[in-house]
Structure 1
Amino acid sequence: MTTKITELVRRDPEEIWTDGNLETIDDLFAESFVLHDPSSANEQRGRDEYREYVETYRAAFPDLEYAVETVIAEDDIAALRYTARGTHEGELLGLEPTGERVSVSGMEMYRVEDGRITEMWTSYDSLGLFQELGVVPPLEELDETSERD
């Protein structure tokens, strides 16, 4: 059972996010799917909202690639660690394209019922992403500023 869940959840970053096969969402996710993302104002509910969420990031980073580092599963839960890389070529959350190549690490936890993903908790280095895009200064610069005060 854990091998099936491991194979199932790997398809999200590999087929949907990297390959851009958004039709796969209908195969992998339950209609009642809920995404918990602390960097989003609202939880995405259902396949269509998740599809829009993916489209937003893929439009901003059209060459997006996910490298799955680790997947572990127990019972109906799987955890996945990844590194995502891409070039900021489209608007993201009001931020105009910077052309910057970024690398962001993150983790996701999936809950699976009846062979479909019903819930996902995601946490990625959003601070690091915005630092790489030049929106937020690197921590070293912040340290130097606080030392001068």
Structure 2
Amino acid sequence: MGTAENKELVRRMVDECVNTHRADLLDRFVTADVRVHAGTPGTAPATEGLQQLRESFFRIRTSLPDLHVHLDDVLAEGDRVAARWTGSGTHSGALAGIAPTGTPVRWGGTDIYRIAGDQVAEWWRNDDMVWLLHQLGRDLTPVSG
């Protein structure tokens, strides 16, 4: 696929899976052995394979059932697609050890995808988890020493 088709693949995955809460459709967009690299250490494990990715989608959907991701920018070169995004939702389930608060949250991130054939084979996630946690009342403080 060319860069235009690669960008469209990512756009469709976000629209058809993330924003419609349809993890069951992920097999249309990602390889069976997809690898997702967590961007913020300690916030999510690396994901190996389609089933673990579906489970990850379920966990975030439990925390933020009305999650919506807007793609602010989508760039592509070769087999890579980069997307800058803004996520929003209501904290209605436990997230990072924080009990539900009912707080509306908004945060951003930048993800990079490697496309193989016509599917995402590898995905590097990077989001502003510090800002998300701040909105939920948990601020990270430096450790002295």
Shared fold (TM-score, shorter chain, > 0.5): yes
Q: Does residue 55 in structure 1 map to residue 58 in structure 2?
A: yes
For 1:6-50, what per-residue CA distance to the aligned partner results, in whole angstroms no more than 9, with x for missing partners?
A: 010112322222111112211111011000013345310000101
AA of the residue aligned to 1:25: L
Identity level (%): 31
- Higher Cα Rg, which structure: 1
Give the equivalent residue in structure 2 for 1:9: 10
Q: Supply the distance in 1 between the matched residues of 2:127 and 2:39 (Cα, whole angstroms).
A: 9
Asked whether the 8 Å contact 1:58–1:64 carries over to 2, the reply is: yes
1:30 alignment partner, SS class: strand
Question: Which is helix-richer, 1 or 2?
Answer: 1
Contiguous gaps of at least 5 residues in structure 2? none
Q: Does residue 118 in structure 1 map to residue 118 in structure 2?
A: no
- How many positions carry a matched residue from both structures? 140
Alpha-carbon offset, residue 66 of structure 1: 0.8
Contiguous gaps of at least 5 residues in structure 1? 143-149
Q: Supply the distance in 2 between the matched residues of 1:22 and 1:86 (Cα, whole angstroms).
A: 17
TM-score between both structures, scaled by the size of structure 2: 0.90
Q: Supply the distance in 1 between the matched residues of 2:119 and 2:20 (Cα, whole angstroms).
A: 20
